[in-house]
Chain A
Amino acid sequence: MIEVKNAVKTFEGFRALDGADITVPDGGVYGLVGPNGAGKSTVIRHITGIYRPDSGEVLVEGEPVYENPAQKALLAAIPDDWYYFQSATVADMMRFYRGFYPAFDTARYERFKEVFAIPEKAVIRRLSKGMQKQVAFWLTMCCRPRYLILDEPVDGLDPVMRRQVWSIMMSDVAEHGTTVLVSSHNLRELEDVCDHVGIMNKGKVLIERSLNDLQENIVKLQAVWKPGEAPVLPKELEVLHISHVGRVYTYIVRGKAAEVTARLEPCGPLMLEALPLSLEEIFIYELGGEHYAVKEIIL
């Protein structure tokens, strides 16, 4: 389990983390989402033991991770900005990683040669950005980490490779119970792979829940009312958003689909349909309340 408890981190007066709380359960795939500058990468650098929090705790299996080699050996990370040594080849870096990770799987490294199709003798810095990222996956997945920490992992990968690396990761989750923490803006993709989601904004975690829970507790309703009838919704419903095109009204309401529908039926709609929300829509509506929304600017 990875736990971040009330972590605060200040950079020259700017509070990048402002009491962040995160719990990543074992065997879970946790998606960390949030607008740019929300503090996602800062949290990740705390979990990988690069930053020390000003206050609060960052624990991996109950132990602080900062300057703690035993805990760091359990986790492997692909940062958003990686580093390879000058003129190092894939094989050189493999030997480097093998020196640090006791569980490094050399047989797996050999098998992945076919998957990634990058010459082992290639100088990594001369490869394209996408290919460098493939090397990052190749080496990291061979470390057989118990915890895999990924900061925007699939950016720069082509669609086939994205699927390939997710496939490898999901098979590790199923077979070895690997715990994954992943930050990404690709919510469509996170929806497939994650079972837990944390939404961050301004250095805090606003919502942290299982994805099922999140999707079952917010509902999109489409309703058509009789012509000329101004729909008045029951007061006890927590409506996050209302929009309409012609007579078709779309409501975003907090609550379970069945309960909300039962509340609205007595109002006499001509048609009423409850639709599940995508993670992308949840993200937009949840943060909309935090004064963060797409501004309709016409240039």
Chain B
Amino acid sequence: MLTLNYRDSEPIYGQIKNGLKKLIVTGALAPGEKLPSVRSMAASLAINPNTIQRAYTELESDGFIHSIPGKGSFAGRRQDEADQDALRLEALLEKLRELVAELRYLNVTTAELMAVVEGGLNQ
């Protein structure tokens, strides 16, 4: 479910963290869905279990996953889906900002950009 890029400057635990975060915000891992155990993840990626534990711990403190002792880790916050939507919204807006910045760099004018946005809204 994750691919690691060994030429990336991002450390492995960061790649696992971001990879899982992406799966969660895009909904590929639905809220409440069980994540692979640290052991099975360590075995399938052939990396140190402590590295995976570190990624899981940080994801939990960032509120993307929660763990239930003796049962494992699950996607999303424990309580409601409102938080989920907020996360998704933030991620999508961030993506949009990135796209706008890139288009700006390619000398797209504000008018052209607005036209695209309006076209999308009217559809």
Q: Which residues of A contact B (CB under 8 A)?
A: 29, 163, 166-168, 170-171, 173-175, 188, 191-195, 215, 275-276
A-B contact count (CB 8 A): 47
Q: Verify B49–A192 contact, CB threshold 8 A.
A: no
What are 12 A-B pairs with beta-carbon distances under 8 A? A163-B46, A170-B43, A170-B46, A170-B48, A171-B43, A174-B39, A174-B42, A191-B12, A192-B45, A193-B47, A195-B50, A276-B9
* Residue ID in chain A nearest B12 by CB atoms: A192
Most buried by B among A171, A191, A215: A171
Q: Verify A174–B46 contact, CB threshold 8 A.
A: no
Q: Verify B42–A170 contact, CB threshold 8 A.
A: yes
Q: Report whether over half of chain B's contact residues are helix, strand or loop; otherwise say mixed.
A: helix
A143, B93: Cα distance in complex, Å: 54
Q: How large is the interface on B (under 10, 10 to 19, 20 to 34, 35 or more residues)?
A: 10 to 19
Task: Identify which of B6, B10, B11, B48 contacts A173 (C-beta below 8 A).
Answer: B48
* Residue ID in chain B nearest A193 by CB atoms: B48
Which 4 residue pairs across A and B have the least CB separation, nearest first? A174-B49, A171-B43, A174-B39, A166-B46
Q: Verify B44–A167 contact, CB threshold 8 A.
A: yes
Given contacts A170-B48, A174-B39, 20 further A-B contacts (CB under 8 A): A167-B42, A167-B44, A168-B43, A170-B42, A170-B43, A170-B46, A170-B47, A170-B49, A171-B42, A171-B43, A173-B48, A174-B38, A174-B43, A193-B46, A193-B48, A195-B48, A195-B50, A195-B51, A276-B9, A276-B10
B8 to chain A, nearest CB (A): 10
User: In the complex, what residues of B have CB within 8 A of residue A174's CB?
Assistant: 38-39, 42-43, 49
A74 to chain B, nearest CB (A): 21
Given contacts A170-B43, A173-B42, contact A215 B49 (CB under 8 A): no
Q: Verify A275–B9 contact, CB threshold 8 A.
A: yes
User: In the complex, what residues of B have CB within 8 A of residue A194's CB?
Assistant: 48
A191, B50: Cα distance in complex, Å: 12
A170, B38: Cα distance in complex, Å: 10
* Residue ID in chain A nearest B10 by CB atoms: A276
Q: Verify A175–B39 contact, CB threshold 8 A.
A: yes
User: In the complex, what residues of A have CB within 8 A of residue B43's CB?
Assistant: 167-168, 170-171, 174
Q: Which residues of B contact A (CB under 8 A)?
A: 6, 9-12, 38-40, 42-51
Q: Verify A171–B39 contact, CB threshold 8 A.
A: yes
A166, B46: Cα distance in complex, Å: 5
A194, B50: Cα distance in complex, Å: 9
A31 to chain B, nearest CB (A): 10
User: In the complex, what residues of B have CB within 8 A of residue A192's CB?
Assistant: 12, 45-48, 51
A163, B49: Cα distance in complex, Å: 15
A170, B40: Cα distance in complex, Å: 9
Q: Verify B50–A276 contact, CB threshold 8 A.
A: no
* Residue ID in chain B nearest A171 by CB atoms: B43
B2 to chain A, nearest CB (A): 13
User: In the complex, what residues of B have CB within 8 A of residue A175's CB?
Assistant: 39
User: In the complex, what residues of A have CB within 8 A of residue B51's CB?
Assistant: 192, 195
User: In the complex, what residues of A have CB within 8 A of residue B39's CB?
Assistant: 171, 174-175
A209 to chain B, nearest CB (A): 14
Q: Verify A215–B46 contact, CB threshold 8 A.
A: no
Given contacts A174-B38, A174-B39, A175-B39, contact A167 B9 (CB under 8 A): no
User: In the complex, what residues of A have CB within 8 A of residue B46's CB?
Assistant: 163, 166-167, 170, 192-193
A163, B6: Cα distance in complex, Å: 15
User: In the complex, what residues of A have CB within 8 A of residue B38's CB?
Assistant: 174
Task: Identify which of A166, A171, A276 contacts B11 (C-beta below 8 A).
Answer: A276
User: In the complex, what residues of B have CB within 8 A of residue A171's CB?
Assistant: 39-40, 42-43
* Residue ID in chain B nearest A177 by CB atoms: B49
A162 to chain B, nearest CB (A): 8
A167, B44: Cα distance in complex, Å: 6
User: In the complex, what residues of B have CB within 8 A of residue A195's CB?
Assistant: 48, 50-51
Most buried by A among B6, B12, B51: B51
User: In the complex, what residues of B have CB within 8 A of residue A166's CB?
Assistant: 46
